[in-house]
Amino acid sequence: MNRRALTSVGLSLMLGAAATFAAGCNRDSGDGTGTGSNQLVGVDYPRSDTDFWNSYIKYVPQYAQELGVELKTTNSQNDIANLISNTQTFMSQGVKGVVMAPQDTAAIAPTLSQLESRDIPVVTIDTRPDTGKVFMVVRADNRAYGTKACQFLGTKLGGKGKVVMLQGGLDSINGRDRTEAFNECMQKEFPEITVFGEATDWKADVAASKLQTRFASDPDIKGIYMQSSFALSGTLQILKQRGLQVPPTDPKHVFVVSNDGIPEELKHIGEGLIDATVSQPADLYAKYGLEYVKAAIEGKTFQPGPTEHGSNIIQVRDGLLEDQLPAPLVTLDGAPIAGEPTVKFDDASLWGNNA
């Protein structure tokens, strides 16, 4: 498609998105550092219905001010159509780069192509597009999330029993990575554990309903893996209703491991209500997302290998780099699981203890 055709599509989408943008866009100015339009960046927040993403939303303007980046922000509310419309708005505002976290990692491809045609670099946070070009992906190793959860539950259950995996959205690379790694680890290392995979599309009500149904059919479940903290409240409520909120030393205890590392999860680990979580770095997503998009605007390039901030850049496919940030398993005592180190829940280095 040529530039004129792309412009026509963009104008059409903008008109259709006017009402959505008016309701969902939060316009931020720069900090007066004099960077001007050369550092104007559009940041789309993927959703604001979880503590993790609300924490990310708070970190973004803080780091933008530190970096001298001027922001235009929108919130796509977990809707790919909103994200596409918001991106059209960014282009009309003259942004020089875009940071986004597409929850549907396949459907964003045409929008990425349009941004590339206009020489607007893109950094994706937390998720990696299935196809299309971006300057850098900033996320943690989501396969490691699934593996760590598997090793924790498998060890605690002594290699036997039943576990429920409350999956995220399988249209997302994150949901697929965590699910595939968890299943592969269980099949290889704990073949006597039965895994019930429940797709939830990252929706709390769906997760609670499916967990309730699973307990009705299999009341002897001994482990739960929540692929995100979106399922936390419903899971705790169901365990309480069934009289299963008991200490780990009690035979009735159901071991629960989550993903995110939000303050509430860390608090619940300390209280014995859940047992572990993988701390996904909301603060570093904001920091390095903005640093990479600023670097892209300035014409800098990167290569695979270790970084100065303790992560590792890998080449996912031709022309696509991913900076995999550290995401430790957090437990009550910080003791190793399956020979791998963990972090104690009250460790001051965890962003959830400083949010």
Q: What is the CATH number of the domain that holds 31?
A: 3.40.50.2300
Q: What is the DSSP letter of 146?
A: H
| Phi–psi pair at 275, nearest 5 degrees | -115, -25
pLDDT digits (tens, 9 = 90+) for 78-107: 999 999 999 999 999 999 999 999 988 999
pTM value? 0.83
The residue whose two tokens read 């959205």 is: 169
Together in a domain, 249 and 347 = yes
Model confidence at 3, pLDDT cuts 50, 70, 90, reads very low
- Going by pLDDT thresholds of 50, 70 and 90, the confidence category of residue 131 is very high
66 and 197 together in one domain: no
Q: How confident is the model at residue 319 (pLDDT cuts 50, 70, 90)?
A: confident
| Edge-to-edge strands, sheet with 255-260 | 193-199, 161-167, 223-226, 255-260, 276-279, 329-331, 343-344
Pair (106, 203) in one structural domain: no
How many Å apart are CA 235 and CA 208, to the nearest integer? 6
- Both 248 and 347 in a single domain? yes
- Tell me, what DSSP letter sits at residue 227? S
* Pairing outcome for strands 223-226 and 255-260: parallel
123 plus 228 within the same structural domain: no
Tokens linked to 266: 């860390």
Q: Is the pLDDT of residue 61 over 80?
A: yes
Question: What per-residue string of b and e applies to 69-97 under the rule 16 or more CB within 10 Å gives b?
Answer: bbbbbbbbbbbbebbbbbbbbbbeeebbb
- Are 315 and 338 within one domain? no
Sign of the Cα pseudo-torsion (178, 258, 186, 169, in order):
negative
Same domain flag for 248 and 315: no
CA distance 48 to 90: 19
Regarding whether 203 and 343 lie in a shared domain, the answer is yes
Same domain, 14 and 76: yes
Percent of the residues in the chain that have a pLDDT greater than 70, as a whole number:
90
Question: Any idea of the CA torsion for 338, 341, 346, 347, to the nearest 10 degrees?
Answer: -170
In order of 95, 136, 296, 302, 331, the CA distances from 119 in angstroms are 11, 15, 10, 18, 44
Same domain, 16 and 82: yes
Instruction: Give the number of other CB atoms < 10 A from CB of residue 122.
Output: 26
> How many domains does the chain contain in total?
2
> Residue 246 and residue 264: Cα distance in Å, rounded?
18
Both 87 and 151 in a single domain?
Answer: no
CB atoms within 10 A of CB 101: 26
Query: 194-234, pLDDT tens digit by residue?
Result: 999 999 999 999 999 999 999 999 999 999 999 999 999 99
| 109 and 75 together in one domain | yes
Task: Supply the range of the domain harboring residue 68.
Answer: 3-134+282-325
Collect all residues with Cβ–Cβ distance below 8 Å to 249 and sequence separation of at least 6: none
